[in-house]
Structure 1
């Protein structure tokens, strides 16, 4: 990426911008990803990037303050004005930015604008993490599933909208630190529970976030980046209003978890792959 505006990027700016960019690359439709402290706090697709930004921001306006915003289309003047008028932002990154957009963002000296050009297909690579005495190395997580690869394991089949939302929030969950839970409805996140030490608390936090912002959970889909070790996460999701769950499966208690979903009338999809971002 090339920095076209703003003051120097910090270590954390670069790390968070990379996280936001990698997430927004998952979507073919106009998309916006807002990242704070390495975790998405709002993600949406829309008819335009302005529409996507408006919807992503609504997920968690409090956390979006001082965040990183990534787009998968050119930054236009209308979207730039909406961002500058609404919030403090550290970095905006997009494939390109119009001259009019850059004139608007230039009014805020602290806003860093980066352009990265169009990207191609993802290629296999390695992820590194430093530990005392060496480096941990693993293959990059490039895994993703399509609707045809999902297994419905409950009595109820998902509706078309639930399925679309399930696939959407599964893409987002890949970029949320584990234990990761993502609630989504109508192609936007409505609650994200990130980095908790128990999966049930990530589920509870996602529900609390949605309630705090007045977002309707009833009829939404929930993604979990790894399997549910107990039924409590399903019970928490049902209490919030979730009606469809997408998760890897693979727990020794899968039968109990599926039974819980059936009790609540929830449709459950198994991906047979996990993400588990650390």
Structure 2
């Protein structure tokens, strides 16, 4: 490999059949991101029958989505027009739009072959790698010219089945376990009374948390993640973080955010970063001064006004939350309700699951227990 986890560490693949390296030289993190992302999109595609895409950073997804309608905000932000609903490009645009600041410099995974429209889009955004089960004619040439010829292109074998067991070495200790291979569709109760769109969101959400570093929670709406929390040490922080990301995603769709004045010479990613800071109300004093200089005093007044934020966030609804572990306390439900969650899918089995279910019912939230924990480390 180019190097291991860090540039001062050497690394090599010593066993196993990995993806074919078409262009570039992968590091260990590139491999970990690509392989975990590939597993996620394959499972999401298999469970729903729709093309899937993921945007991975540091071995967890910043976003993941199924092919579907690209809304007006995402279309304007990414300058794609209305991508075809069933095209793999629509899946990636929706995945990247979940948390565009975190997706900067991501590894891209697609469940279907890369077409020319997707290759042209990837060439125009800041990403480091792509893994897919194939590449249509002409696409490799488009992608290989990216990053001065260093862009990493990996081709996955669509027919490859991972081994039944997996191993990990830590400080000279080799640990072997069964691969986590229970299909998520088999553990989502058919009698849960979920509408088809909600069930699809739940299946995508379960695939997401299966390949997100634990503890993890995913908030999904209309076949796309709008908030993912990874690697938290307690469950309620997962819900709060995912909820904060979902609210920022929704506030980016408010006219105040969308129609910030254009700043001369500002590129797409910089504008997106300012919109995220504005929507999330998270600027430092220095950033706030820069923001006022770039966008004007009226925009700063809007930034500091809490009234419109609360009114707009209250309209967010139809969100499905999935959790890789059980919800231990009812406060998880209360934070979920504040993020527009109408369905919670979790393993269940906590000593307080009854209280959690009662809280969900009190908030008008459907509560589904799968019995399957999906920790990933």
TM-score higher than 0.5: yes
Contact 1:124 1:142 in 2 (8 A): no
Aligned to 1:68: 107
Contact 2:64 2:208 in 1 (8 A): yes
Question: Map of 1:171-190 to 2, 5 A cutoff?
Answer: 171-190=207-226
Distance 1:148 1:64, change over 3 A: closer
Larger RCO (alpha carbons 8 Å, 6+ apart)? 1
Q: Deviations over 1:27-78 (max 9, x none)?
A: 1321111110000111111111111111111111111111110111111111
Matched length: 272
Contact 1:249 1:270 in 2 (8 A): yes
Q: Deviations over 1:221-270 (max 9, x none)?
A: 00000101111111110011100000111101111100110110000111
Alignment pair present for 1:252 and 2:351: yes
Q: Mean alpha-carbon deviation: is it higher for 102-111 or for 259-268?
A: 102-111
Alignment pair present for 1:129 and 2:168: yes
Runs of at least 5 residues in structure 2 that lack an aligned partner in the other structure: 1-18, 68-85, 254-314
Contact 2:53 2:91 in 1 (8 A): yes
CA distance in 1, matches of 2:184, 2:105: 32
Aligned to 1:119: 159
Alignment pair present for 1:90 and 2:128: yes
Aligned to 2:238: 202
Cα RMSD after superposing both structures: 1.9
CA distance in 2, matches of 1:149, 1:80: 35
More strand by share: 1
- CA deviation after TM superposition for structure 1 residue 166, in Å: 1.4
More helix by share: 2
Alignment pair present for 1:33 and 2:72: no
CA distance in 2, matches of 1:148, 1:111: 39
Runs of at least 5 residues in structure 1 that lack an aligned partner in the other structure: none
Aligned to 2:298: none
- CA deviation after TM superposition for structure 1 residue 152, in Å: 6.9
Alignment pair present for 1:4 and 2:25: no
Residue from 11, 24, 35 that aligns with 1:18:
35
CA distance in 2, matches of 1:134, 1:165: 39
Indicate the structure (1 or 2) with the bigger Cα radius of gyration: 2
SS in 1 for 2:201: helix
Aligned to 2:201: 165
- CA deviation after TM superposition for structure 1 residue 144, in Å: 2.5
SS in 2 for 1:25: helix
Contact 1:203 1:237 in 2 (8 A): yes
| TM value normalised by structure 2 | 0.69
Aligned to 2:185: 146
